[in-house]
Amino acid sequence: MFSKQTLPIPYCILTSPDWKDYELLDSGNGWKLERFGQFQLIRPEAEAVWSPALPESKWSAAHARFVPSPEENGGHWQHHKPLPERWKMRYKKLSFYVQTSASRHVGVFPEQACQWDWISEQISAAGKPVKVLNLFGYTGLATLAAAQAGAQVTHVDASRKVLNWARENQTLSGLDSAPIRWILDDAVKFVQREARRGVKYEGLILDPPKFGRGPKGEVWEFFRLLPNLLDSCQQVLADQPLFVVLTAYAVKASALTLQYALQELIQHTDGDWTCGEVALQEKSVGRLLSMAIFARWSRFTTAPSRS
């Protein structure tokens, strides 16, 4: 049973206004028009149930559009203008590659920049060496943000392709000497092995997909396996943890679901609890496009970095 001290729970909508290389130009009718560096892309977005604010002429100027197939994760890119195989982008001191591929994803989730900033703030405020575990780490931007702030980071992902991509981003960001372990593994199995080895982490970054497969065909299903993962994470969490952040995309859950799940993991009544949504703000008329839900805890009681 949760104590009364855990309530009320601050609920926030976080945005990432510090981008220079990215913009959400417009959205509507189930699509979003985005600028990644000098290139404009159109991608599906189920949350955009309203009408676009910009005229069709602005949308037709995009370099490419992702056309989904009837399958949930399938589809292809239609190229309308020349587009390089991949190109470089920056966020503050981070540099990374983006590219169109076999999915709608391009290597960066821009709405997560507010979380990268928050992670950096927690590590910098610790004033001591910090070990961070990043599960489902994708192309490594949260990992690199943590490493830039001075953490030793263990980055786990089930895809060799994105791990190689993350290593390239490490080089682009000038962090080749940073203490980062790149691990190709199933997240649950890796954490269970770390627990048996007695390894502890002060920071946890969890960004699990709705569905996925491990390198040996292990199946990940969010609602079925998240409790097992969090139970294992509790065993690798340091006695004096620094922070935990949990994000979820495309699942039928609320941020409160993640909040209560984290409360069972952390079991601390002190510190800063926050849950809510991460959103992109349109350049056109300023609407907020909700992208994911999150919950996070920090030992330091501070206001959210972006809201």
pLDDT tier at 263, thresholds 50, 70, 90: confident
* pLDDT at residue 215 tops 80: no
Q: Count of alpha carbons within 13 Å of 158, Cβ hemisphere only? A: 19
Domains of the chain: 4-16+108-298 (3.40.50.150), 22-98 (2.60.40.1180)
> What is the predicted pLDDT for the residue at 60?
97
Contact indicator for 177, 126 with CB cutoff of 8 Å = no
**pLDDT tens per residue, range 11-20:** 999 999 999 9
> What is the predicted pLDDT for the residue at 48?
93
Q: Are strands 11-14 and 272-281 parallel, antiparallel or unpaired?
A: parallel
Contacts of 168 (CB under 8 A, 6+ apart): 97
> What is the predicted pLDDT for the residue at 223?
65
* pLDDT at residue 270 tops 70: yes
* pLDDT at residue 4 tops 80: no
At position 136, the amino acid (one-letter code) is F
**pLDDT tens per residue, range 42-54:** 999 999 999 999 9
- On average, the pLDDT of the chain sits at 90
**pLDDT tens per residue, range 66-87:** 999 876 668 999 999 999 999 9
Contacts of 224 (CB under 8 A, 6+ apart): none
Determine the Cα angle at 107 with ends 104 and 108, to 5°. 100
* pLDDT at residue 304 tops 50: no
Contact indicator for 141, 169 with CB cutoff of 8 Å = yes
Give the highest mean pLDDT range of 96-100, 185-189, 218-222, 226-230: 96-100
* pLDDT at residue 1 tops 60: no
Mean pLDDT of the 241-265 span? 85
Contacts of 39 (CB under 8 A, 6+ apart): 63, 64, 83, 87
**pLDDT tens per residue, range 115-138:** 999 999 999 999 999 999 999 999
